[in-house]
């Protein structure tokens, strides 16, 4: 019996030990998992910081978040309420006073001559046709305001594209300068090694050092250009200027030339032409509103008299009035104004035709210029730069064998660096030409 109790006691201790060890193991696993999670959070960069923002995303954020664009929608909304206000009537006029009351001190022959107290109510009733014409004229101005917002958006998108492409080209310049810097660093090390053995001149060491520092300054300049472009892009997107912004440096702008650039296509694409059409429509509605001034207006007046002599009966007067705007001395105002607006509409139509003709010629010229620039860049990248690079490699190999002096190698290095920089300059010009082409096409 005692042995059995002893065995039960031992089994209980063993179970408690196993449970504690299991709990301890689970706790250790939880603590290890939390530790790994903290390491991932604090040591690894955030996911959104690693992602590159595309040009389409930038343009979408500019469209949705830019504050200056929001003002156009608010102005257009204001015209809706102005048009509603155009249909309002004037407030009624109410008057209270005396009627045919004799002056103090005047001898009254009869109590009927005491006059009366008079209450007057008067209301102007404008012509409904006039109000509707004025309402349509004011409401039409909202469309032009919204189109002005689209014009401003097109300009902001062009600015955003320029800044985005500037960052891409600046990053490519840094890549080129960094690669060339390694070559110059190697030449400086060779000069440092050769100088103690009188195999090179001290001036070569200083010249290599100067070229390295000059190259570093160019890298710093490009870094500043990237920082400036990112700050301006953040401002366009209504974000803090110092917000992190990772540009997709692998993106290459593609030029898509329109097959046919007729005036009908430009009239539908260009927002400034659309706005001009809307302004012409507004002017025509204004002419209709001006011609509606030949319609008469109305007025109703009610008078109520309470005689001061109680023996006299109360009396009233109701009068309806109508204006006569067709008389010559009144009609010449709105007729002359309508004629002036007609001439203005004709002037705007001529201006529109001239803008379409000018834009057509400009866009065709820009297409040819862009295609020519693309061919130039292709020739520089596929022919000139490889030739200069092979020259640089050959001169550097001869320099390593001490068959060529440092100034000659530096000349090859400078020629290669300058040509690579020229290629990137031409690419930036090409990208800007593409931006200008798209801006002109959708202006």
Q: Cβ-count burial of 184 within 10 angstroms (0-12 exposed, 13-18 middle, 19+ buried)?
A: buried
Q: What sign has the CA pseudo-torsion 97, 101, 102, 108?
A: negative
Average pLDDT over every residue of 360-364:
89
> Whole domain around residue 117: which residue ranges?
47-441
pLDDT score of 108 more than 80:
no
pLDDT score of 313 more than 90:
no
The reply to whether 87 and 9 lie within a common domain is: no
Contact 398, 411 (CB under 8 A): no
Average pLDDT over every residue of 394-406:
82
Which stretch of 69-78, 288-297, 391-400 has the lowest confidence by average pLDDT?
Answer: 391-400
Report how many helices (DSSP H) and strands (DSSP E) the chain contains, helices first.
11, 4
Average pLDDT over every residue of 212-222:
89
Tokens found for residue 203: 């001036």
Confidence band for 53, pLDDT divided at 50, 70 and 90: confident
Q: How far apart are CA 149 and CA 141, in angstroms?
A: 13
The reply to whether 16 and 159 lie within a common domain is: no
Q: How far is CA 105 from CA 102, 108, 117, 173, 391, in A?
A: 8, 9, 19, 104, 123
Q: Summarize pLDDT for 146-157 with one digit per residue, the tens.
A: 999 999 999 999
What's the mean pLDDT when you consider all of the chain? 84
Pick from 26, 44, 62: which residue ends a domain?
A: 44
Average pLDDT over every residue of 305-311:
84
The reply to whether 77 and 163 lie within a common domain is: yes
Percent of the chain with pLDDT over 90: 38
* pLDDT the model gives residue 113: 78
- CATH number of the CATH domain containing 217: 1.20.1600.10
Q: How far apart are CA 216 and CA 191, in angstroms?
A: 19
Tokens found for residue 19: 């449970």
The reply to whether 251 and 195 lie within a common domain is: yes
pLDDT score of 328 more than 80:
yes
pLDDT score of 424 more than 90:
yes
The reply to whether 102 and 229 lie within a common domain is: yes
pLDDT score of 4 more than 50:
no
Q: How far is CA 219 from CA 208, 262, 320, in A?
A: 17, 46, 86
Say whether 66 sits in a helix, a strand or coil: coil
* pLDDT the model gives residue 43: 45
More confident residue, 51 or 221: 221
Q: How far is CA 214 from CA 160, 166, 175, 277, in A?
A: 30, 21, 15, 55
100: left (phi over 0), alpha (psi -120 to 50) or beta: left
The reply to whether 34 and 86 lie within a common domain is: no
pTM over 0.95: no
Contact 188, 409 (CB under 8 A): no
Go through 415-442 and write b for each residue having 16 or more CB atoms within 10 A of its CB, e for each that does not: ebbebbeebbebbbbbbbbbbbbbbbbb
The reply to whether 36 and 90 lie within a common domain is: no
pLDDT score of 246 more than 70:
yes
Distance of CA 61 to the CA centre of its chain: 9
pLDDT score of 107 more than 90:
no
Which stretch of 73-82, 111-120, 168-177 has the lowest confidence by average pLDDT?
Answer: 111-120
More confident residue, 401 or 437: 437
Which stretch of 22-26, 220-224, 352-356 has the lowest confidence by average pLDDT?
Answer: 22-26
- Of 414, 410, 376, 385, give the one whose Cα is nearest residue 395: 410
Confidence band for 221, pLDDT divided at 50, 70 and 90: very high
* pLDDT the model gives residue 42: 47
pLDDT score of 109 more than 70:
yes
* pLDDT the model gives residue 7: 47
The reply to whether 80 and 10 lie within a common domain is: no
Contact 66, 236 (CB under 8 A): yes
Confidence band for 422, pLDDT divided at 50, 70 and 90: very high
* pLDDT the model gives residue 48: 39
Tokens found for residue 11: 């089994």
Q: How far apart are CA 46 and CA 41, in angstroms?
A: 8
- DSSP-derived secondary structure letter, 383: I
Q: Count structural domains, the chain.
A: 2
Contact 170, 229 (CB under 8 A): yes
Percent of the chain with pLDDT over 70: 87
Confidence band for 429, pLDDT divided at 50, 70 and 90: very high
The reply to whether 85 and 36 lie within a common domain is: no
pLDDT score of 37 more than 70:
no
The reply to whether 262 and 366 lie within a common domain is: yes
The reply to whether 23 and 94 lie within a common domain is: no
Residue 35 — φ and ψ, nearest 5°?
Answer: -65, -45
The reply to whether 36 and 181 lie within a common domain is: no
End-to-end CA gap in the chain? 103
Average pLDDT over every residue of 282-290:
91
In degrees to the nearest 10, what's the CA dihedral of 175, 180, 182, 188? -150
Q: How far apart are CA 244 and CA 230, in angstroms?
A: 8
pLDDT score of 247 more than 50:
yes
Count the residues in the chain: 443
């Amino acid at each position: 019996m005692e042995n059995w109790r002893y065995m039960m006691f031992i089994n209980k201790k063993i179970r408690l030990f196993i449970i504690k060890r299991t709990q301890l193991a689970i706790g250790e696993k939880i603590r290890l998992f939390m530790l790994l999670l903290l390491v991932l959070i604090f040591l690894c960069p955030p996911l959104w910081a690693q992602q590159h923002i595309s040009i389409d995303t930038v343009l979408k954020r500019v469209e949705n978040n830019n504050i200056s664009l929001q003002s156009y929608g608010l102005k257009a909304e204001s015209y809706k309420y102005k048009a509603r206000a155009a249909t309002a009537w004037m407030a009624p006029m109410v008057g209270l006073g005396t009627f045919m009351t004799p002056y103090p001190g005047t001898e009254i022959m009869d109590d009927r001559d005491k006059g009366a107290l008079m209450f007057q109510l008067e209301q102007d009733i404008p012509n409904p046709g006039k109000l509707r014409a004025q309402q349509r004229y004011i409401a039409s101005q909202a469309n032009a305001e919204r189109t002005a917002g689209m014009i401003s958006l097109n300009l902001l998108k062009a600015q955003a594209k320029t800044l985005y492409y500037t960052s891409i080209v600046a990053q490519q310049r840094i890549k080129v300068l960094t690669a060339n810097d390694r070559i110059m660093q190697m030449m400086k090390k060779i000069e440092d090694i050769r100088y103690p053995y009188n195999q090179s001149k001290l001036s070569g060491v200083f010249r290599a050092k100067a070229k390295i520092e000059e190259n570093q300054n160019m890298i710093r300049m490009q870094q500043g250009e990237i920082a400036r472009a990112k700050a301006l892009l953040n401002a366009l997107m209504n974000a803090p200027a110092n917000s992190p912004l990772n540009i997709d440096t692998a993106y290459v702008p593609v030029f898509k030339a329109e097959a046919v650039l007729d005036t009908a296509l430009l009239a539908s694409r260009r927002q400034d032409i659309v706005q001009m059409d809307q302004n012409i429509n507004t002017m025509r509605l204004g002419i209709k509103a001006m011609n509606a001034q030949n319609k008469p207006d109305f007025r109703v007046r009610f008078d109520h008299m309470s005689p001061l002599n109680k023996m006299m009966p109360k009396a009233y007067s109701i009068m309806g009035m109508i204006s006569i705007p067709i008389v010559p001395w009144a009609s010449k105002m709105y007729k002359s104004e309508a004629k002036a607006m007609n001439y203005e509409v004709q002037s705007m139509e001529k201006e529109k035709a001239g803008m379409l003709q000018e834009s057509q010629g400009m866009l065709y010229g820009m297409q040819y210029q862009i295609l020519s620039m693309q061919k130039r860049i292709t020739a520089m990248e596929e022919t000139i730069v490889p030739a200069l690079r092979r020259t640089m490699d050959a001169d550097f190999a001869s320099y390593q064998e001490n068959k060529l002096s440092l100034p000659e190698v530096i000349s090859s290095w400078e020629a290669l660096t300058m040509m690579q920089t020229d290629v990137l300059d031409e690419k930036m010009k090409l990208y800007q030409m593409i931006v200008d082409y798209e801006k002109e096409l959708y202006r």
